[in-house]
């Protein structure tokens, strides 16, 4: 298991249709006792504010660069999801798998 100070993940949100994925991912990471840095664009701030009960705070003046891994949000339909939440959980589960974080959203691949 990673040391507590190494259990930090950065999540970037750009707006559009990914807001639900990003918010669910942040929720799961916090539940798994990870530190989360959340970066977001103005578009994400607007989308999250208008489509959810959450309000993202304004940006800070300090900017930091991070090494990133791009994980495309491509939901799988072979498990025949019946609700939007199941699609969101599918994407979030794949991201958590990438970071080797335990979850109970669905069976792990492989």
| CATH number, position 18 | 3.40.50.1950
DSSP state of 67: -
C-alpha span between 2 and 70 (Å, rounded): 22
Q: How many independent structural domains does the chain possess? A: 1
* 104 is a domain residue: no
* 86 is a domain residue: yes
* 37 is a domain residue: yes
* 105 is a domain residue: no
C-alpha span between 90 and 106 (Å, rounded): 7
pTM for the whole structure: 0.54
**Residue 82 confidence (pLDDT):** 93
Phi/psi of residue 88, nearest 5 degrees: -60, -45
* 13 is a domain residue: yes
* 110 is a domain residue: no
CA distances from 5 to 2, 68, 101 (A): 8, 18, 15
Residue 91: CB atoms within 10 A of its CB come to 22
* 109 is a domain residue: no
* 32 is a domain residue: yes
Per-residue model confidence as pLDDT tens digits over 36-62: 878 777 788 888 888 888 776 664 443
Query: Which regions in the chain score pLDDT beneath 70?
Result: 1-5, 16-17, 56-73, 110
Q: Which residue has the tokens 């498990």?
A: 79
Which residues share a beta bridge with 9?
36
Q: Which domain holds residue 24?
A: 4-60+68-98
């Amino acid at each position: 298991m990673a040391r507590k100070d190494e259990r930090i993940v950065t999540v970037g949100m750009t707006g559009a249709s990914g807001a639900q994925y990003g918010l669910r991912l942040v929720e799961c990471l916090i539940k798994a006792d990870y530190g989360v840095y959340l970066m977001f664009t103005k578009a994400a701030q607007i989308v999250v504010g208008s489509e959810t009960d959450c309000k993202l705070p304004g940006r800070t003046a300090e900017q930091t660069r991070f090494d990133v891994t791009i994980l495309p949000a491509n939901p799988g339909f072979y498990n025949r999801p019946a609700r939007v939440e199941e699609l969101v959980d599918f994407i979030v589960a794949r991201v958590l798998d990438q970071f080797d974080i335990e979850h109970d959203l669905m069976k792990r691949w492989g």
